[in-house]
């Protein structure tokens, strides 16, 4: 199932609510527009996709559907389920040109297409694991994105992730400030407007209920093989190139 963005401003107008006091999150003007529609935000990254053939795909869809029933969900844009993935190590984004978030092997003004070509060439030199085994950690509602957070299922997986991320960092010249503390997660939705206290309470209750369910049902997520992908926005991640 593909979830389109919620045009929540129109919804709120129909509900007769005051729009003057809305405070947009940092997602607006970056990954999304004020009306919740997805904004062009090209880049590249290394991910493990979670397709319909993955046993836990349906659990993630069910989680998203339950969230969609909340009143506060109107202030979020849900991502299409076809985009579900676990980021293994971040790449670069066209609009984020800082030394600590760019390849040290390329100039800060290098065209994004040049980073695509360079990363594609360098990634062939990396030893890529076939999969990772991840377990459920918690539902994160405190940031801009609503995420299902994950942990390595075994110490061996933790070591394999660290080794892979370090190799990618070396070959691609990427080492973000959070390289050693990165939190693995699956993004489900992005918050467009800040919530009211009532909406925060509703979200907290949902978080607690969802965590209780996922602790019982999640088990172990066996990921797909990590791959370098390219994106124009947050709705599609493609190993073949950017549309």
Per-residue pLDDT tens digits for 126-178: 999 999 999 999 999 999 999 999 999 999 999 999 999 999 999 999 999 99
Using CA atoms, how far apart are residues 231 and 235, in angstroms rounded to an integer? 8
Q: What's the confidence (pLDDT) of residue 92?
A: 98
The model carries a pTM of 0.91
Q: What's the confidence (pLDDT) of residue 15?
A: 41
- Options 3.90.1140.10, 3.90.79.10, 3.30.460.80, 1.10.10.10; CATH for 8-234 is 3.90.1140.10
Is the pLDDT at 209 greater than 90? The verdict is: yes
Whether the CB-CB separation of 22 and 74 falls below 8 Å is answered with no
Residue 148 pairs in a beta bridge with: 139, 186
Q: Residue 235: name the closest of 85, 70, 72 by CA.
A: 85
Q: At what angle do helices 112-123 and 155-172 cross, to 10 degrees?
A: 130
Q: Residue 189: name the closest of 221, 135, 143 by CA.
A: 143
pLDDT band for 21, please (50, 70, 90 cuts): low
Q: Which residue has the tokens 């940031």?
A: 143
pLDDT band for 102, please (50, 70, 90 cuts): very high
Cα 139 off chain centre by: 13
pLDDT band for 20, please (50, 70, 90 cuts): very low
Is the pLDDT at 19 greater than 50? The verdict is: no
Using CA atoms, how far apart are residues 128 and 110, in angstroms rounded to an integer? 26
Whether the CB-CB separation of 129 and 226 falls below 8 Å is answered with yes
CA angle, 135 then 167 then 230, to 5°: 75
pLDDT band for 237, please (50, 70, 90 cuts): very high
Residue 221 pairs in a beta bridge with: 134
pLDDT averaged over every residue in the chain? 93
Q: What's the confidence (pLDDT) of residue 172?
A: 98
Average pLDDT over residues 7-23: 50
Give the SS3 label for residue 153.
Answer: coil
pLDDT band for 192, please (50, 70, 90 cuts): very high
Using CA atoms, how far apart are residues 75 and 118, in angstroms rounded to an integer? 38
Through-space distance between the first and last CA atoms of the chain, rounded to whole angstroms: 21
For the chain, which residues make up each domain, given as ranges?
8-234
pLDDT tens-digit profile of 25-82?
999 999 999 999 999 999 999 999 999 999 999 999 999 999 999 999 999 999 999 9
CA angle, 26 then 50 then 142, to 5°: 30
Q: What's the confidence (pLDDT) of residue 14?
A: 43
Give residues with Cβ within 8 angstroms of 221, minimum separation 6: 50, 54, 56, 86, 133, 134, 135, 136, 150
Q: Residue 185: name the closest of 47, 59, 55, 76 by CA.
A: 47
């Amino acid at each position: 199932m593909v979830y389109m963005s919620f045009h929540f401003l129109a919804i709120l107008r129909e509900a007769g609510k005051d729009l003057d006091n809305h405070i947009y999150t940092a997602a607006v003007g970056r990954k999304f527009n004020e009306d919740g529609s997805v904004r062009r935000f090209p880049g590249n990254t290394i991910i493990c996709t979670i397709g319909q053939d993955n046993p836990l795909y349906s659990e993630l869809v069910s989680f998203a559907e339950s969230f969609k029933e909340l009143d506060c969900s109107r202030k979020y844009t849900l991502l299409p389920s076809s985009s579900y993935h676990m980021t293994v190590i971040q790449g670069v984004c066209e609009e984020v040109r800082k030394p600590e978030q760019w390849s040290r092997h390329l100039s800060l003004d290098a065209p994004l297409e040049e980073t695509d070509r360079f990363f594609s060439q360098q990634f062939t030199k990396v030893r890529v694991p076939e999969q990772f085994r991840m377990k459920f950690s918690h539902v994160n509602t405190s940031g801009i994105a609503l995420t299902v957070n994950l942990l390595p299922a075994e110490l061996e997986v933790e070591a394999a992730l660290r080794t892979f991320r370090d190799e990618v960092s070396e070959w691609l010249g990427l080492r973000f400030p959070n390289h050693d503390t990165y939190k693995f997660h699956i993004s489900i939705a992005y918050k467009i407007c800040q919530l009211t206290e009532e909406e925060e309470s509703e979200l907290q209750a949902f978080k607690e209920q969802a965590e209780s369910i996922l602790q019982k049902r999640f088990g172990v997520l066996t990921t797909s093989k990590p791959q370098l992908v390219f994106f124009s926005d947050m709705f599609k991640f493609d190993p073949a190139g950017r549309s």
